[in-house]
């Protein structure tokens, strides 16, 4: 069992990770598909959505490192999968992506897996 602050770090890591990924997606949608090269890199570096997404995602990584310092990796790591659920839900509301029955089943499996592993 972890202390409350470690659970807070896990939650913050997931939240920042989800927000960061959603911002990155928004930025890349605005940039569009491009061939790799200097022009593409310039578009990424000048995109406030992408840069903001990277900064927020980095905050998630910092919180993840703090979570790792407070618990065993084999116990803490399954909680990282909860961010997949947030991404699916956020993508549904922000980007109007579909939540198929298969994705819904995946969400249920993820939640079940986290509950099972957290009882160990």
To the nearest whole percent, how much of the chain has pLDDT over 90?
64
What are 17-41's pLDDT values in tens digits? 999 999 999 999 999 887 788 888 9
Q: Give the DSSP letter string of 1-36.
A: ---HHHHHHHHHHHHHHHHHHHHHHHHHHHH----S
**111 pLDDT more than 70:** yes
Q: Average pLDDT for residues 1-6, to the nearest whole number?
A: 85
3-state secondary structure of 72: coil
Check residue 32 and give its pLDDT: 86
3-state secondary structure of 71: coil
Is the whole model's pTM more than 0.75, yes or no?
A: yes
Check residue 1 and give its pLDDT: 66
């Amino acid at each position: 069992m972890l202390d409350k602050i470690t659970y807070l770090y896990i939650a913050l890591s997931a939240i920042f990770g989800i927000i960061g990924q959603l911002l990155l997606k928004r930025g890349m949608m605005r940039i569009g598909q491009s061939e790799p090269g200097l022009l593409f890199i310039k578009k990424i570096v000048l995109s406030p959505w992408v840069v903001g997404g990277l900064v927020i995602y980095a905050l998630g990584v910092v919180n993840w490192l703090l979570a790792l310092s407070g618990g065993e990796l084999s116990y803490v790591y399954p909680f990282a999968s909860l961010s997949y659920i947030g991404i699916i839900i956020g993508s549904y509301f922000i980007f109007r992506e579909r939540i198929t029955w298969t994705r819904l089943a995946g969400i249920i499996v993820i939640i079940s897996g986290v509950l099972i592993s957290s009882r160990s």
